[in-house]
Amino acid sequence: MIRSPLMTVMTDAVMKAARSLKRDYGEVENLQVSRKGPGDFVTAADRKAETILREALEKARPNYGFVMEEGGVVEGSDTSHRWFIDPLDGTTNFLHGIPQFCISVGLERDRQIVAGVIYDPVKDEMFIAERGAGAFLNNRRIRVAARRDVGDAVVACGIPQVGRGSHPRFLKELAMVMGSVAGVRRMGSAALDMAYVACGRQDAYWERDVQSYDIAAGIILVREAGGFVSNADGGPDPIAAGSVACGNEILHKELLDLVKAANR
């Protein structure tokens, strides 16, 4: 387990937000049957968790900037450091009472992601990584899967939301990938997909039209678990491109080749 002061700050902030999110998740089932529906309630839960995260991180590191799902970009006096915060990744799952969502916090230093925490409050699974210190799930060191044959691989993906991204392009990529792998999964949380690649539950993952705060923590998790991360076209900066592909060295390359072939 990583015992650094930075990781203590990050995990403490995430656990504070998680307590609030778990309480709100317990109310979702009741709200499903109301005429108004749970949408407004979930938006409030999202914002409340983000506020808790921001206040905790700001108290510990008062000069750092923020990139947040709800609050947008906030510049800090320390221009070398920025927090990337997604207080509820997997909002649609949360909204429908599906227990596949998480809190994601990544730290950027000089344009490089150097630490990340992804916490699944329903399963009580804490994924953490810090540059040079490895990646962990709770107290266990994790590594990406060792599979080498793409035909044996389970690959995760994300489907573009309506009005954002190209469904025809995605369908071409999906057809190419699903014809070559053992199975394709769409779980509904980009951060957890990357965490699952880091711990070997999924062999690879790709998605376009993702936000920086969705993938920041996952980038360092996968890399510290021995994996490779790029944008969906093989470029070096997923955050700038707004797309991601990851896996072990071999399956990452195989996935990129399939995606490229689909777009010829």
Furthest C-alpha separation in the chain:
51
Is 88 flagged in the annotation as binding?
yes
Only one residue has tokens 């490779």, namely 228
Q: 89 a known binding residue?
A: yes
All residues at 6 or more sequence positions from 252 whose CB lies less than 8 Å from its CB, including other chains: 204, 227, 228, 229, 230, 245, 246
Residue 249 in marked binding region? no
152 known member of a binding site = no
* Residue/partner pairs of 20-24 with CB below 8 Å, 24 or more apart: 20/45, 20/48, 20/49, 20/52, 21/45, 21/49, 21/87, 21/88, 21/103, 21/121, 22/121, 22/122, 24/48
CA atoms within 13 A on the CB side of 199: 18
Q: Report whether 12 belongs to an annotated binding site.
A: no
- Point out the annotated binding site for Mg(2+): 69, 86, 88-89, 214
